[in-house]
Amino acid sequence: MRYTPREVVDKTGFTLDTLRYYERIGLLDDIDRNSGGQRVFSDDDIAWLEILRCLRDTGMPIARMLRYAELARGGDATFAERAELLEEHDREIEAKIAALRDEQLRIRHKIQWYHDNMV
């Protein structure tokens, strides 16, 4: 399947500006163009954008996303490095979740305090 930029926006939730930005900085690579020069995206491009969305939504900095993209373009020889990069990111996500759980407990205690002290 081939998708127009608008269809990609609808499928991924990224904006057109973000797609252009990701292409300009190298997170999107080798996007085909039709005879009119408009970008045309493939299912593989959509799958890659879904990975980028996951990385972005979980707080990975652009610089590390670029490193991951660079490694991905390196093929099978970079599997270990990619796994290591993702494992590091996973540990950071786990730490953020733990910190949020601690804060959530604090909020729940405050909520309980309010319930206990309502007149």
CATH number at residue 7: 1.10.1660.10
Which among 67, 70, 73, 7 has a CA at the least distance from the CA of 40? 7
Spatial separation of the C-alpha atoms in residues 21 and 62, rounded to whole Å: 11
| The overall pTM is greater than 0.75 | yes
* Mean pLDDT, the chain, integer: 97
Domain that holds residue 49: 2-116
Domain count, the chain: 1
* Residue 119, pLDDT above cutoff 90: no
Which DSSP state fits 77?
A: G
Binning pLDDT at 50, 70 and 90, where does residue 110 land? very high
**Strands annotated E in 1-119:** 2-3, 32-33, 39-42
